[in-house]
Chain A
Amino acid sequence: MTDVQSSPPPAEVATRISARGVRVFYGDKQALFDVDLDVPDRAVTALIGPSGCGKSTFLRCINRMNDTIPGARVEGTILLDGEDVNDRDLDPVLLRARVGMVFQKPNPFPKTIFENVAYGPRIHGLATSKSELDGVVEQALKRAGLWKEVSDRLDQPGTSLSGGQQQRLVIARAIAINPEVILMDEPCSALDPIATARIEELIDELRALYCIVIVTHSMAQAARVSQRTAFFHMGKLVETGLTSKIFTRPGDPRTQDYITGRFG
């Protein structure tokens, strides 16, 4: 298993996502306190921190999935390519077509493998003919590294695959509509080490095309897979920077303590 190197992103890298002053409230309880973060394009940014520190909450702000939680309130600005995602005039449907999400537990729909991947293109009207749709599905499955394994059984239910395959199916589903950003919320925590390694390989391939933000519990995974890392603690963004730097010479003592395992 080769170590996925955390090479620095090219010097002239665009910032895809720019968050300023993000605060999130669940009812009266505040979960995020004034988060400022820039996420570069064509790179993997890892959000790390102990349980309940708000990293998943922040992730879900980016594609406004917090809207689905009753009582949740989001303040601050999150710019995607210069557009504020929380703008009232921006339809979340449009936003979520540009920002894909992969969840902790693989959640393929109870449909065939083909239909799972075709779901996005269908609802957004991206394929005008059957052959076009077939092409889109095939390409997405190839990019997700799943094509060879399922090309002969596209009409089987998505739930008949193994855990690791299901997660790759979900990734294929997400990239079938060619989003700009892919958000991943602890995508490997429900998978065995071999499946995890495959997914991490896939993430490294995908970063050439997409802006990827990954929340992970495992610092080792963050070190393997990401180029930039942001450390959250108790709802605050403590430190952010190049992955290599964070893990070798963190600036903040809290980061240092977390990395060395003094708390978790």
Chain B
Amino acid sequence: MLTGLALLVLAAFSGAVFWAASRRAAGLARSPAAPVNSLPFHHGTYAAVWTAVPAALVLLVAALFGDPVETALVKAQLPAAVLALEASDRQVFLDDALAIARGGSRSETPYSPDLEAALRTAASDAHAIDVRVRLIGLGSAGVLALAGAAWGLSRIRAPFRARAGVEKWIQALLLFCSVTAVFTTVGIVASLVWESWRFFQAVPPLAFLFGMEWDPQSAMYADQVVSEGAFGAIPLFAGTFLIMLIAMMVAAPVGLFAAIYLSEYASGTSRAIIKPLLEILAGVPTVVYGFFAALTVGPLFRTGFNAVGAMLVGGPLNDLGLYLGEVQNQMALVAGVVMGVMLIPFVSSLSDDIINAVPQSLRDGSLAMGATQSETIRKVILPAALPGIMAAMLLAVSRAVGETMIVTMAAGLQARMTFNPLETVTTVTVQIVTLLTGDQEFDSPRTLSAFGLGLTLFVVTLLLNVIALRIVQKYQEQYD
């Protein structure tokens, strides 16, 4: 709250500077010496911005990095006796010292008399450092603010291009905002790579990417050597692939044909009604689809298969009947079908845009030759739209691979390598959720493996998106 208070004071000060600068600039305009370049408003803003922004930046840096800096300084001054302690005990000592220094409460750990004395010294050291760091922060902010005010006020002359100066600040702000998008990517890549690197210290990448057994539970007791073989991700890739395949078998034909109908056959009113309805389907959150899959589709399919199984038992397909009688709710088919339904509007909407982008002149040319509408679509429109449609399918695959909630709620946890849609499988995303929502110590290889999976997922979806983009770009020139 000290930072908050300081920021408020800074804001008030900047306001005052703005007012003073505007007054002075207005005074300039009255005297006929030279034409004034900028409005008083601009001069005022210019001065105020120079006052506020550098000082505010310093305050924010101090707020963000002040604590770690203090902690580091206090650590450096710890006596030998403390440094000799176990790492975790040392951490507790440090936390206590800092807590006392800041007026908080310490833990109940009992210390030996030497350590108690050391604790008190450390606490007072910490307090002194704390005060010093804060003073430095506030002081430099204050100095910068005053300097900025002086600078801004001194610039107030008729030919001075205050507006241009203010606009430079604005453009800097805009640039900064644009760069946040890049920061986000850097952040994602850095955090994934960093944590995965730590994971790969314990489990080699090859064992991870090509291992056939996924069983993190078995590898996890604190002093046990981590079994490399327990983190083979192939079964997860297989499960993800199977469910994605089922989903695309539902979404691709239905979505594509829906798009064809909407863009080529439907009347204006039908289109105006159907399109929004499909948008609704697209807007339903995936957790709702997951609920639907778990509590409606799963039991429905199971009952259906069990019934078919019951009919087959006792006949020539007896074994198949017995098998069908035993299938569970959580088969891959359920998650795949529901995911496919979720993807239908995605495929349909992208395909619709692509088909509409095919120039009308091609349609006219084909129809004028006596082709039926379906022939025109099949032989002229779709081949012309093919690159775009392929790209759309790749994007849908990317979506399917990264989807989490439907599979978490409808698929299972058993890592299994199979192409049988009636089996229970698990996917990469389900495992990431499972690994990170249990009780966790953050640093165990088990939780870090989630980052390894996350990195793989990120790379795969990125590749798919890049390929899709390339395909579209490569064939774009056709219509120019």
**Chain A interfacial positions (CB closer than 8 Å to B):** 63, 65, 68, 70, 92-98, 100-101, 103, 105, 107-111, 119-120, 123-124, 159, 170, 173-174, 177
Contact = CB atoms under 8 A, between A and B. Distances in A.
Interface in B256-297: 267-268
B369 A173 contact: yes
B369 A70 contact: no
B369 A97 contact: yes
A111 B478 CA distance: 11
Q: Which of B267, B268, B379 has the most chain A CB atoms closer than 10 A to its own CB?
A: B379
Given A65-B364, A103-B361, A120 B369 contact: yes
Interface in B353-396: 359, 361-372, 375, 379-380, 383-384
Interface in B189-226: none
A109 B267 CA distance: 26
B384 A94 contact: no
B364 A107 contact: yes
Interface string B328-361: 0000000000000000000000000000000101
A110 B379 contact: no
A192 to B, nearest CB: 18
Q: Which of A68, A108, A123, A177 has the most chain B CB atoms closer than 10 A to its own CB?
A: A123
Given A97-B370, A120-B369, A170-B365, 8 more contacts: A92-B370, A96-B369, A96-B371, A100-B368, A103-B361, A109-B380, A110-B362, A123-B371
16 contacts: A65-B367, A68-B363, A68-B364, A93-B372, A94-B370, A96-B370, A101-B369, A109-B362, A109-B366, A111-B383, A119-B371, A120-B370, A123-B379, A159-B478, A170-B365, A174-B368
Contacts of B372: 93
A124 B371 CA distance: 8
Contacts of A101: 364-365, 368-369
Nearest to B477: A159
Interface residues of B, number: 21
A110 B361 CA distance: 12
Contact of A96 (B267, B362, B367, B379): B367
B164 to A, nearest CB: 48
A238 to B, nearest CB: 27
A94 B369 CA distance: 9
Contacts of A94: 370
A22 B416 CA distance: 71
A191 to B, nearest CB: 15
Nearest to A67: B367
A20 to B, nearest CB: 23
Per DSSP, chain A at the interface is: helix
Contacts of B478: 110, 159
A159 B384 CA distance: 12
Q: Which of B268, B362, B371, B372 has the most chain A CB atoms closer than 10 A to its own CB?
A: B371
B370 A177 contact: yes
Contacts of A108: 365
A42 B363 CA distance: 28
B383 A110 contact: yes
Contacts of A70: 267-268
A107 B362 contact: yes
B364 A124 contact: no
Given A107-B362, A123-B375, A159-B478, A96 B368 contact: yes
A100 B364 CA distance: 11
For the complex of A and B, the 3 pairs showing the least CB-CB separation, nearest first, are A96-B370, A97-B370, A101-B368
A177 B365 CA distance: 14
Contact of A100 (B268, B363, B369, B384): B369
A108 B384 CA distance: 11
B370 A124 contact: yes
Contacts of A68: 363-364, 367
Q: Which of A93, A120, A174 has the most chain B CB atoms closer than 10 A to its own CB?
A: A93
Interface in B396-431: none
Interface string B16-50: 00000000000000000000000000000000000
A9 to B, nearest CB: 26
A35 B291 CA distance: 65
Nearest to B378: A123
Interface in B446-480: 478
Contacts of B379: 119, 123
B370 A107 contact: no
B288 to A, nearest CB: 37
A17 to B, nearest CB: 16
Contacts of B363: 68
B479 to A, nearest CB: 9
A214 to B, nearest CB: 15
B370 A123 contact: yes
Q: Which of B359, B362, B365, B367 has the most chain A CB atoms closer than 10 A to its own CB?
A: B365
A105 B362 CA distance: 10
Given A70-B267, A123-B379, A159-B478, A110 B367 contact: no
A107 to B, nearest CB: 4
Contacts of B359: 107
A111 B382 CA distance: 12
Q: Which of B267, B268, B370, B380 has the most chain A CB atoms closer than 10 A to its own CB?
A: B370
A119 B361 contact: no
A65 B478 CA distance: 25
Given A110-B383, A110-B478, A174 B367 contact: no
A65 B362 CA distance: 13
Nearest to B368: A101
